[in-house]
Chains A and B, each alone.
Chain A
Amino acid sequence: MNLNDFLGPLTLPAWIVSLPLVAAGLGVALPKIGRPAAVFTAFATSLLVVRLAGEVLRHGTIQLQVGGWPATLGIALQADGLSVVMLSMTCLIGGAVTLYAAGYFGADSAAISFWPLWLFLWAALNALFLSGDIFNLYVTLELLGLSAVSLVALSRSAEAPPAAMRYLLVSLIGSLSYLMGVALLYAAGGTLDLNALAAAGPHRPSISAAFALMAAGLVMKSALFPMHFWLPPAHANAPAPVSAALSALVVKGSFYILMRLWLTIFEPFINPATADLIGVMAAFAIVWGSIQALLAQRLKMLVAYSTVAQIGYIFLIFPLSSMPAATQTAWQGGLYFVFSHACAKAAVFLAAGNIVYSVGHDRISELNGIAQRLPVSMFAFALAGVSLIGLPPSGGFVAKWLYLNAALTTGQWWWTVLILGGGLLSTAYVFRFFSRAFSYTTETVGGRPVPWIMEWTAFVLAMCAVILGLTAPAVIKLFTAGQPF
């Protein structure tokens, strides 16, 4: 057995999943080691993911049966272009959040619990994106939910525990619904493997029921209107790095699963009406989320409602891709939204976290002139805002452009109106905060200085959102490696 067997391309997925898990375990056993373990894991995992991306680009989809156990009994890991992009996104945001949290948490007790929980969350995400069977997805979903809830509860604010509780209850109902769907699928298909189920036989009523259950559960966990009510309190009251991770990554996990199921198992059974129903819910999400963001009193609440709206955009992937002429473009656009939104939203939450760290509150009406005190964070906010609105040169613009193309080439002009209207609404709520932040004031209010790492991680993430706008062809080439669509 040589090094190549151990660390070769085929075992990369296993390493990517187990590294954060091991680090998390170490963090529980030896609390002092938590922070350095996390930073090391961030770097190491990123390197592994880059290597995996290279392999997938060269050889197409990579599959690994963990421990050599065959399908059904064993756990199948699978990496195609889509997984690799999601993994890269996780590493990028995860790395930034790790560095930010290193500066954010002082020596208080929350820090001891944060690192292992955060590493569990990261492990869950990695496993989720690499899973090749539906039950493994359930396990990762649960791990993801539990770590996320616990991270929310770390906040010292009084609103956090009820918000975490609500999040937990919704998360558990969602998982239960999903598990029921798994049971039905297994009963119908005799296997848990995604690819095997996709190749399975004729349509049966239980498959539609399974789809309904799983979709309902995943929609709840992804906070699509009207199942979004749990998200704003949870994301707004969590500690800053947690909010960033939640909005950027955790909600995308359940969305990813829905996407996979849609593309593989349920593909022959999808009714255009279902896609349109999702579209209607997405439309409400965009409008409602934006309006609530306009009315929010606190900055983090504004940002959380913005997530609700942007999730609507992401779910537009389903109705837009339902017509064959636009399928590829729609999927590319949706994924670009996922990636850009992750970078931009994380940057915004980190910047908002800097504000709270500095002045102790985030009430928008009292934040006049904050740009003078925190220029780097505000610049990050500005760049990220550009991506959220969908203006060039940003990833958000590329995503919007792809969506518009998909809508217009198939004559679905109503989605065009929605997409543009949503852009105008986002402009309104972004500039609502902006104009206050950049107004000139001579009053110098006291405030804690913010560690440079916290400001600069926010800025780097915001720059990533912009850079995504300039490197579209390369990123899209990565998405489509292994032909997930």
Chain B
Amino acid sequence: MTISLLYALVGVVLLGMGLYRLVIDPHLVKKILALNISGAGVFLFLVAVADRTPGFEPDPVPHAMVLTGIVVAVSATAVALGLVGRIREIKGTAEFSENEPE
């Protein structure tokens, strides 16, 4: 098993773990954390993809994608946390279930 294949598999596992937690856990901050972990999984997968010609230099394009992805993830997390703060102000709690009625 090559390193890049290991990375790819770990990435997929992280993605799955994050998604699971995202759906199951009612606490919003935990959901955001879970989303970030899933994101990290995808980025790890991308890093693995960069190793397209083993033994030679890695492909820079997936690296660029990962960097962009990280920036996006950070902004998204910022927005999400801001929203959590607002929800906490209004509802007094930072928990909700996925299928809350309107």
Let me know if chains A and B touch directly in the complex, using CB atoms closer than 8 Å: yes
A318–B28 CA distance with the chains assembled, in angstroms: 36
Chain B residues, CB < 8 A from A164: 83
Q: Is A190 an interface residue (CB 8 A)?
A: yes
Q: Is A110 an interface residue (CB 8 A)?
A: no
Closest B-chain residue to A150, C-beta based?
B79
| Contact call A168/B83, Cβ cutoff below 8 A | yes
Q: Is A162 an interface residue (CB 8 A)?
A: yes
Known contacts being A153-B83, A165-B80, is A142 close to B31, with CB within 8 Å?
Answer: no
Chain A residues, CB < 8 A from B15: 176, 180
Known contacts being A173-B19, A173-B22, A232-B102, is A186 close to B79, with CB within 8 Å?
Answer: no
| Contact call B49/A169, Cβ cutoff below 8 A | no
Q: Is A478 an interface residue (CB 8 A)?
A: no
Chain B residues, CB < 8 A from A142: 72, 76
Q: Please give the distance in Å from A223's CB to the nearest CB on chain B.
A: 15
| Contact call A236/B61, Cβ cutoff below 8 A | no
Q: B42-95: which have CB < 8 Å to A?
A: 42, 45-46, 49, 52, 61-62, 64-65, 68-69, 72, 75-76, 79-80, 83-84, 86-87, 90-91
| Contact call B76/A165, Cβ cutoff below 8 A | no
Q: Mark A140-153, 1 if CB is under 8 A from B, else 0.
A: 00100010011001
| Contact call A182/B96, Cβ cutoff below 8 A | no
Q: Is A179 an interface residue (CB 8 A)?
A: yes
Closest A-chain residue to B83, C-beta based?
A165
Q: Is A102 an interface residue (CB 8 A)?
A: no
A180–B16 CA distance with the chains assembled, in angstroms: 12
Chain B residues, CB < 8 A from A161: 83, 86-87, 90
Chain B residues, CB < 8 A from A162: 87, 91, 96, 100
| Contact call A183/B49, Cβ cutoff below 8 A | yes
| Contact call A183/B45, Cβ cutoff below 8 A | yes
A135–B86 CA distance with the chains assembled, in angstroms: 32
Which of B22, B52, B86 meets A169, CB within 8 Å?
B22
Known contacts being A161-B83, A165-B83, A168-B83, is A180 close to B42, with CB within 8 Å?
Answer: yes
Known contacts being A146-B76, A153-B83, A162-B96, is A186 close to B49, with CB within 8 Å?
Answer: yes
A187–B52 CA distance with the chains assembled, in angstroms: 7
Q: B23-41: which have CB < 8 Å to A?
A: 28, 31, 35, 38-39
Which of A190, A192, A233 meets B52, CB within 8 Å?
A190
Q: Mark A48-88, 1 if CB is under 8 A from B, else 0.
A: 00000000000000000000000011000000000000000
A305–B71 CA distance with the chains assembled, in angstroms: 34
Chain A residues, CB < 8 A from B86: 153, 161
Closest B-chain residue to A297, C-beta based?
B102
Known contacts being A233-B102, A236-B102, is A165 close to B84, with CB within 8 Å?
Answer: yes
Chain B residues, CB < 8 A from A72: 61
A73–B68 CA distance with the chains assembled, in angstroms: 13
Q: Is A172 an interface residue (CB 8 A)?
A: yes
Which of A158, A176, A182, A301 meets B38, CB within 8 Å?
A176
Chain B residues, CB < 8 A from A149: 79, 83
Q: Is A159 an interface residue (CB 8 A)?
A: yes
Q: A200-239: which have CB < 8 Å to B?
A: 229, 232-233, 236
| Contact call A179/B42, Cβ cutoff below 8 A | yes
Q: Please give the distance in Å from B88's CB to the nearest CB on chain A.
A: 9
Chain B residues, CB < 8 A from A165: 28, 80, 83-84, 87, 96
What are some 16 contacts across the A-B interface (CB < 8 A)?
A: A135-B68, A139-B72, A146-B75, A149-B83, A161-B90, A162-B100, A164-B83, A165-B96, A166-B100, A168-B79, A172-B35, A173-B19, A176-B39, A180-B45, A192-B61, A233-B102
What 9 pairs across the A-B complex have the smallest Cβ distances?
A161-B86, A187-B49, A161-B87, A142-B72, A233-B102, A165-B83, A183-B46, A180-B42, A183-B49
Q: Which residues of B contact A (CB under 8 A)?
A: 15, 19, 22, 28, 31, 35, 38-39, 42, 45-46, 49, 52, 61-62, 64-65, 68-69, 72, 75-76, 79-80, 83-84, 86-87, 90-91, 96, 98-100, 102
Known contacts A173-B19, A179-B65, then 4 further A-B pairs from the complex at CB < 8 Å, ordered by chain A residue:
A153-B86, A162-B87, A166-B100, A169-B80
